[in-house]
A and B are shown apart, each in its own frame.
Chain A
Amino acid sequence: MDISFVIEKFVLVAVIFGISLVIAMYSTYAERKVAAFLQDRLGPDRAGPAGMFQPLADGLKMFMKEEIIPTNSNKWLFMVGPGLAMLTACIGTAVIPWGSSISFGSRVIPLQVTDINVGVLYIFGVVSLSVYGVMIGGWASNNKYSLLSAIRAASQNISYEVAMGLAIIALLLVTNTLSLKEIVEQQHGWHWNVLYQPLGFILFIVCAFAETNRAPFDLPECETELIGGYHTEYSSMKLGFYLFAEYINMFVSSAVMSTLYFGGYNYPGMDWVLLHAGPVIGPLVGTAVLFIKIFAFIFFFMWVRWTIPRFRYDQLMHLGWKVLMPLAIANVIITGIVIAIVEKF
């Protein structure tokens, strides 16, 4: 392992971490602006031209506020909760292929931090761990509302993981591999997986909404029902971490959806671009296309938030277990049958 390899990986990790934080920061700004335009009003437009420095002002506000830790809370767990939420949100970005490899002369740099051959399973494990951040925060607050919301969040998360896993299994029947890099390479040009697995994609996107606690499944943190949910007792940077972790989760979910179903960094006409743009610019065009897809998904997340009313808790459980799981199992069966028929001929 030579030193240049270590430096490459270090730089890649730092760049990806920085980009995900900046995108999460400006997602807060975009959320407010998109929400405003959908509601016939302007969003923040005083802090800088068109309000562009609003996230910096929000970050400064979070730093400056007083840290309050309730007396009867479990102090160690109180501090671990937001940290765990942020940790599981950030490590999800490690296995996503951000582009095909850049080549500088003889060196080939893959634009992916690690290409483990169980990439999809890793993403799943990280998503499951993210439940702990919410649960620990709700429990450690010593507050009935926070506990109720943590319980609801935990049950919602584990219910929708089942349908998500089953949708992924159907996808695996098509791709035959768990490694994200190979899944993206199979979707060259315009052979995106959403064309082969439309029902699987719909199931996955509904479960992604539920996993990131995003409307219409945002019962754990809605203000009208549970005051503040699991982050009622949090202030200053710990609250900032929780809110930030939600936006980073949204970013990682969008990236995973784009990678698994919408072709990652592939786009129709990429062969021509790769031929004419050279070995350094070509892959970066693919990365830009991936980011356009991610931003489109993030916009879709925000669009749905201000359109659909919230699910009641029993409606949510009914949907997760009685509608989505049978649909996912049916999807697996149908996919298996279609693949068997296609292979026969």
Chain B
Amino acid sequence: MEPLTSKKKVLVQKPLTFAERIYLPAITKGLSITISHFFKKEATIRYPEVQREMSINWRGMHSLKRDEDGKERCTACGLCALSCPAEAITMIAAERKPEEKDLYREEKYASVYEINMLRCIFCGLCEEACPKEAIYLDGPIVPSDYLRKDFIYGKDKLVEQPLVKK
């Protein structure tokens, strides 16, 4: 019967030649290949002293932004918590007192805002859902820790630092 493709290759198993049977020439060739790798530069990257470049679309740790006057943008509307597929965000809203006018943009703000970094999958849906452009995922890789409770990040870790006024 005719072969169906032209790519058929018949396997040829010749008996080993004398040089192949004594193993030594092949071993010497292999040893020379291996020792050449000994003197090449290694491909390891010495993390964390040296870090690789991230792509433009990199999604890292969350940060709650402030506006140009230094007031927190987040109004505790809860859209980020609603859109989070891992249910990692929780918050408690509070009313702004008259003396706190410089701290928060609108009359409602988040007194407690917690993200459980172990549940978060860094999908970025909270960043897309926020109507106030308050949360962005532009931080570094979340550092490692020992206890589960230390991974629930509160506002002290999430809100960015206030701008230094000139």
Contact = CB atoms under 8 A, between A and B. Distances in A.
Interface of A: 34, 36-42, 202, 303-304, 306-308
Interface in B32-49: 33-35, 37-38, 40, 42-44, 46
B31 to A, nearest CB: 5
A82 to B, nearest CB: 32
Contact of A306 (B34, B40, B43, B44): B34
A42 B43 CA distance: 8
B44 A303 contact: no
B29 to A, nearest CB: 10
B35 A39 contact: no
A36 B42 contact: yes
A330 to B, nearest CB: 14
Contact of B44 (A38, A41, A202, A304): A41
Contacts of A36: 42
Interface of B: 24, 27, 30-31, 33-35, 37-38, 40, 42-44, 46
B35 A41 contact: no
B27 A42 contact: no
B38 A307 contact: no
B78 to A, nearest CB: 44
Contact of B42 (A42, A303, A307): A42
Contacts of B24: 202
A308 B24 CA distance: 11
B22 to A, nearest CB: 9
Contacts of A42: 42, 44, 46
B42 A41 contact: yes
13 contacts: A36-B42, A37-B38, A37-B42, A38-B37, A38-B38, A39-B37, A40-B42, A40-B43, A42-B42, A42-B46, A202-B24, A303-B31, A304-B31
A96 B44 CA distance: 41
B27 A307 contact: yes
A307 B34 CA distance: 6
A37 B43 contact: no
Contacts of B35: 38, 303
A225 to B, nearest CB: 21
Nearest to B34: A307
A307 B32 CA distance: 9
Given A36-B42, A40-B42, A42-B44, A307 B30 contact: yes
A41 B37 CA distance: 10
A307 B38 CA distance: 12
A81 B27 CA distance: 34
In the complex, the 6 A-B pairs of residues with the closest C-beta atoms, listed nearest first:
A307-B34, A307-B30, A42-B44, A41-B44, A37-B38, A40-B43
Nearest to B31: A307
Contact of A308 (B27, B38, B42, B44): B27
A37, A41, A303: most-surrounded residue (chain B CB, <10 A): A37
Contacts of A34: 38
Nearest to B36: A38
A308 B37 contact: no
B34 A38 contact: yes
Nearest to B30: A307
A8 B132 CA distance: 85
